[in-house]
């Protein structure tokens, strides 16, 4: 795979790659600090969060399911970066859209993992 010379000279691409790297690092640190507090049961799902009287609204899981968020965040960063490099040959705007969608997905993963770790 050859990386186009203009790919790393494009300011918008570099901005989006930097934002994605920051979101990835922030999510990894945030999850690692919250997981390292010594709890054994973690809430991994909230089925019916609108009804506070629901008995089975929370599903508990192990630490492996929370650590899967970390793997997901690294995977999103890697896949979107590689797709962006490959698509830059085809069209610049398509590469920018892929990186922007990666930013949105990283932000959503950060929010969901934060919400689940706050509930425990």
- Is 70 exceeded by the pLDDT of residue 30? yes
Residue 27 has a pLDDT of 95
Task: Quickly tell me which residue has 């089925």 as its tokens.
Answer: 47
- What is residue 37's predicted lDDT score, i.e. its pLDDT? 64
Task: Identify the pLDDT of residue 94.
Answer: 94
Looking at every residue in the chain, the average pLDDT score rounds to: 85
DSSP-derived secondary structure for 70-95: HHHHHHHHHHHHHHHHHHHTT-HHHH
**Two structure tokens written together for 79:** 């896949």
Cβ atoms of residues 109 and 27 within 8 Å: yes
* Range 50-76 average pLDDT: 79
97 near 80, Cβ under 8 Å?
no
How far is 106 from 109, CA to CA, in rounded Å? 5
């Amino acid at each position: 795979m050859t990386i186009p010379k203009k790919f790393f000279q494009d300011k918008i691409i570099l901005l989006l790659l930097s934002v994605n790297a920051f979101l990835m690092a922030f999510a990894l640190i945030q999850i690692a600090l919250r997981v390292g507090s010594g709890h054994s049961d973690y809430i991994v799902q909230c089925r019916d969060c609108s009804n506070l009287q629901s008995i089975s609204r929370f599903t508990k899981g192990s630490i492996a399911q929370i650590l899967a968020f970390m793997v997901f965040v690294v995977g999103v960063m890697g896949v979107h970066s590689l797709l962006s490099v490959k698509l830059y040959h085809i069209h610049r705007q398509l590469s920018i859209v892929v990186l922007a969608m990666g930013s949105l997905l990283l932000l959503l993963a950060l929010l969901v993992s934060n919400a689940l770790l706050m509930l425990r």
